[in-house]
Amino acid sequence: MINVTKPFLPPREEFDQYINGIWSREWLTNNGPLVNELELKLKEYLDVPHLFFVSNGTIALQIAIKALGVKGEIITTPFSYVATTSCICWEGYTPVFVDICPRTLNINPELIEAAITPETTAILATHVYGNPCDVEAIDSIASKYNLKVIYDGAHAFGTKYNGRSVFKYGDISTISFHATKLFHTIEGGAVITQDASVAKEIAHIRNFGHDGPEKFYSIGINGKNSEFHAAMGLCNLKYVNQILQRRKELSERYDLMLKPLRITKPFIESKEEFNHAYYAIIFESEKALLKAIDTLNGVYTYPRRYFYPSLDKLNYVGSEGEMKVAGSVSSRVLCLPLYQDLSFEEIDMISRALLRAQNY
């Protein structure tokens, strides 16, 4: 069986060394030494000044919204994982969808200004599949209208834009460290900012709002993560460059084998250092996609329709206007298996199955 992804696991003995240390210290959570070590090493690797390890990527987005004090309407993308929209609704605010660029699949900056109203306070944009948004255009619009910018970088670990970490842009960026991601802590995520005053807000919010044992700075939530999760992150961080290189090689193999296939792929700017977080292909029609899935399932291969459906179709959001590009792409896009120990032979088999499906 070949699933769409499979988590990278470090050598067991390396993880056990960290677990033995946790056992001897009996410090399991509440900002322990491994959490602190992981945060320091991630800040160095990602070249960012302020990073907070949290329990997952969804809570990272919710903390970002709280820390920036945004409210009312938040402009966002209909082509992302459901958490991007749900976190806005969960906080009691209104997601306002702007359609995506048909080439990059990221939010289309040319359409943002038309969606801004007096109630708009922020833009929440996703770096889809790790492919950076047009950050210059978005930041320019945000500056013009005095809006906050949050980047959902759940997929963007290891991606650079113009030679800089993609997490250096916007007011806050968030990451997911879920087990399906190329760098993971089993469950986890991070909140990143360049602003020390925003970092102070994040630090308090993550820990119930505590400002000392018996004093509270503001409303907060339990967004902390444990020493066990930090241990997995510290193990995996040592292998992340190797993981990034392997995913690049696997993606290039797909490129070679799928040349005859009638598909398109998200456009990646040459100036970007891409992390190959996913291998997404877009079929000519939903019928072709469904035939491909059926053929792959027949050889015990299980890709994923990601993202599907378009988020403006969720039954708990009120969306004005049709998101034509997002709706079309979401019905035709498929993420193929991609993970560390996937072999070239397996990619060749998947590719041949896709070519057979197209030629029926």
Say yes or no: 50 and 182 in one domain. Answer: yes
Select from 261, 264, 260 the least CA-distant residue to 325: 264
Q: What is the pLDDT of residues 292-350, one digit of tens each?
A: 999 999 999 999 999 999 999 999 987 777 899 999 999 999 999 999 999 999 999 99
Say yes or no: 226 and 266 in one domain. Answer: no
What sign does the CA torsion over 108, 307, 252, 239 have?
positive
CATH number at residue 336: 3.90.1150.10
CATH number at residue 211: 3.40.640.10
Q: What is the pLDDT of residues 109-145, one digit of tens each?
A: 999 999 999 999 999 999 999 999 999 999 999 999 9
CA distance 155 to 167: 11
Say yes or no: 128 and 182 in one domain. Answer: yes
Q: What is the pLDDT of residues 20-73, one digit of tens each?
A: 999 999 999 999 999 999 999 999 999 999 999 999 999 999 999 999 999 999
Give residue 76's pLDDT: 98
DSSP secondary structure code for residue 168 in this structure: G
Say yes or no: 13 and 139 in one domain. Answer: yes
Residues paired with 279 in a beta bridge: 336
Of 181, 203, 237, the last residue of a domain is: 237
> What is the percent of the chain with per-residue pLDDT over 90, rounded to a whole number?
92
CA distance 259 to 251: 12
Q: 196: exposed, middle or buried (C-beta count within 10 Å: 0-12, 13-18, 19+)?
A: exposed
- Please count the other Cβ atoms lying within 10 Å of the Cβ belonging to residue 89: 14
Q: What is the pLDDT of residues 5-33, one digit of tens each?
A: 999 999 999 999 999 999 999 999 999 99
Report yes or no on whether pTM surpasses 0.85.
Answer: yes
At residue 272 the predicted structure's pLDDT band, cuts being 50, 70 and 90, is: low
Select from 288, 331, 286, 341 the least CA-distant residue to 306: 331
Of 237, 256, 285, the last residue of a domain is: 237
Say yes or no: 45 and 185 in one domain. Answer: yes
Say yes or no: 184 and 316 in one domain. Answer: no
CA distance 189 to 224: 10
Q: What is the pLDDT of residues 183-235, one digit of tens each?
A: 999 999 999 999 999 999 999 999 998 987 888 888 899 999 999 999 999 99
Structure-token pair, residue 203? 């630090």
Say yes or no: 119 and 203 in one domain. Answer: yes
Say yes or no: 215 and 248 in one domain. Answer: no
Work out how many domains the chain is built from and give that number.
2
Better pLDDT: 13 or 358: 13
At residue 2 the predicted structure's pLDDT band, cuts being 50, 70 and 90, is: very high
> What is the percent of the chain with per-residue pLDDT over 70, rounded to a whole number?
99
Say yes or no: 314 and 169 in one domain. Answer: no
Domain that residue 345 falls in = 240-359
Of 237, 272, 292, the last residue of a domain is: 237
At residue 172 the predicted structure's pLDDT band, cuts being 50, 70 and 90, is: very high
CA distance 143 to 160: 22
Say yes or no: 152 and 292 in one domain. Answer: no
Say yes or no: 210 and 233 in one domain. Answer: yes
Give residue 71's pLDDT: 93
Q: What is the pLDDT of residues 245-268, one digit of tens each?
A: 999 999 999 999 999 999 999 998
Say yes or no: 247 and 220 in one domain. Answer: no
pLDDT at residue 269 above 80?
A: no
Q: 239: exposed, middle or buried (C-beta count within 10 Å: 0-12, 13-18, 19+)?
A: middle
What DSSP string runs through 49-71? SEEEEES-HHHHHHHHHHHHT--
- For the chain, give the mean pLDDT: 96
CA distance 294 to 116: 42
Give residue 312's pLDDT: 94
